[in-house]
Amino acid sequence: MSEQPQVSQHFEIQKVYLKDVSLETPNSPLIFTEQWQPQTEVRLETGATPVTEDLFEVVLTLTITTKIGERTAYLAEVQQAGLFTLRGFDESQMGHMLHAFCPNILFPFAREELASLIGKGGFPPVLLNPINFDGMYMQRLQQQQAQAAGAAAPPAAH
């Protein structure tokens, strides 16, 4: 009986970098004269792209839109990226690594950059709460499985 050779798993951070950053303050300076009772919306996206066989770029995009009433105070966006070496992971492990584990590494960098950017714009800093990337990834997998099951189900008979 022959045994399968054990493939060792390897993970390494090659580089963490800012891919894109922007701050728009379309209603300044008048927005600074209004009473500060903002409504803030946070949007988050993750993406992963293979660069070589074992090297992947992971990009975490955080967008914060803050409004006072209908007027936008600011829109801040950071694309925090990293290059990661990943070897020896099966398909399900690879998905988790690229869409949960790596974004978890990038998040503190993106959070700090957003807080600094917003503060430099003259606004009170925003401190984002930690994000459960593992939970988000599992939820996305469940939604994809439910959609696949729904698409595979035969039409209901009348």
Decide if pLDDT at 103 tops 60: yes
Give the pLDDT confidence score for residue 148 in this predicted structure: 81
Residue with more model confidence, 58 or 91: 58
Could you tell me if residue 156 is inside a domain?
A: no
Residue with more model confidence, 73 or 154: 73
Could you tell me if residue 76 is inside a domain?
A: yes
Q: Cβ distance 75 to 65 under 8 Å?
A: yes
Into how many domains does the chain fold? 1
Neighbours of 130 (CB within 10 A): 9
Decide if pLDDT at 100 tops 70: yes
Give the pLDDT confidence score for residue 3 in this predicted structure: 56
Could you tell me if residue 3 is inside a domain?
A: no
Omega before 29 within 30 of 0, i.e. cis: yes
pLDDT interval class at 154 (50, 70, 90)? low
- Neighbour-count burial of 58, counting CB atoms closer than 10 A to its CB (0-12 exposed, 13-18 middle, 19+ buried): buried
Could you tell me if residue 68 is inside a domain?
A: yes
Residue with more model confidence, 7 or 40: 40
| Model pLDDT for residues 122-151, shown as the tens digit of each residue | 999 888 999 999 999 999 889 888 888 876
Q: pTM here? A: 0.85
CA 105/CA 119 separation, integer angstroms: 23
CA 131/CA 103 separation, integer angstroms: 10
pLDDT interval class at 6 (50, 70, 90)? low
Give the pLDDT confidence score for residue 7 in this predicted structure: 67
β partners of residue 40: 66
Could you tell me if residue 155 is inside a domain?
A: no
Q: In this prediction, what percent of the chain has a pLDDT beyond 70? A: 91
CATH number for 59: 3.10.420.10
| Model pLDDT for residues 66-89, shown as the tens digit of each residue | 999 999 999 999 999 999 999 999
Could you tell me if residue 114 is inside a domain?
A: yes
Mean pLDDT of 113-127: 94
Give the pLDDT confidence score for residue 147 in this predicted structure: 85
Neighbours of 12 (CB within 10 A): 11
Decide if pLDDT at 4 tops 80: no
Could you tell me if residue 143 is inside a domain?
A: yes
Could you tell me if residue 127 is inside a domain?
A: yes
Q: Which domain holds residue 76?
A: 10-148
